[in-house]
Amino acid sequence: MYRAYQAAAKLFMLGVDYITSTYIHLTEVIYWHRLRVVDPAAAFPGLRREALGEFWDRTGALQRGSVGDSACRLFSIRDYVDSLLVEAERDPQLYLR
């Protein structure tokens, strides 16, 4: 996942929602490492995937379409993860479970 992030690969979501998005896990891990710089005992931050997904759908640079009856999204993994990190850090109480 991190290699795809570094390579600025794209993510194609076919018929799934953000609750199942594994790249939000990458966002959580990066966010957690940033918290641990300040507090080495910081607990792992479970992020509200549905809220971050709604944020991304409103503000992200993504293409939408469909394949059959399945809704699809296509976007840059790096843009996605970086945007979610900025948003989670901007208002952690909104996005922490």
Question: pLDDT for 5-15, tens place per residue?
Answer: 999 899 999 99
Quick: pLDDT tens for 1-38: 999 999 989 999 999 989 888 898 999 999 999 999 99
CA distance 38 to 49: 24
Among positive and negative, which fits the CA dihedral 26, 78, 10, 66? positive
pLDDT at 83: 97
3 state SS of 51: helix
Residue type, 82: D
Give percent of the chain above pLDDT 90.
91
